[in-house]
Amino acid sequence: MAQDTVWCQNPRCPEKKNSNQIRGTKGKKYHQSSKASGYGSGNFCTLRCYDQWSDQYLDRAIDTLAIRIVEPVKLPMESAWRKDCKWQYNDGDSYIVRYLENKLMGIKIPVTEQQYDSIGYGNDECLALANQIGYKQSA
């Protein structure tokens, strides 16, 4: 969250004209910005305000920061490790299958619940466990 951001950063936030945005005294009332909450890294009050701001400023933000991606980002084989799990159904039974996977290498390694829970989702942790278990590359 941006430091010291209290108010929703969408300049059009008061245009929602919500009852809880009404301030001022009789004859001098106005709608004001809402407080920011968890949207857009804590800069916006709602997803709608985040979207309105993005529609207006996101292109400029990307170009001003000079971070526009002009070629596709590529993730090489050695960085393509992940962990995942899925439900399997067999004759009315259901159970969770947990595995390490590298689709680029054509590798899928079953792991125990304990092994699965012992690591995060990062590539390095998944690769380290795959190396520890031992695996064969097929693609």
Catalog residues that contact Zn ion under the rule CB under 5 A. Answer: 8, 10, 13, 34, 45, 49
Instruction: Kindly state the smallest distance separating residue 63's Cβ from Zn ion, in Å.
Output: 24
Instruction: Kindly state the smallest distance separating residue 64's Cβ from Zn ion, in Å.
Output: 22
Nearer to Zn ion, 13 or 107 (CB): 13
Instruction: Kindly state the smallest distance separating residue 38's Cβ from Zn ion, in Å.
Output: 12
Q: Where are the beta strands (DSSP E) in 13-139?
A: 22-23, 30-31, 82-90, 93-102, 107-111
**How far, CA to CA in Å, does 72 sit from each of 17, 68, 75, 76, 79?**
41, 11, 10, 12, 16
What is the total residue count of the chain?
A: 139
Nearer to Zn ion, 32 or 115 (CB): 32
27, 36 in Cβ contact below 8 A?
A: no
Nearer to Zn ion, 61 or 85 (CB): 61
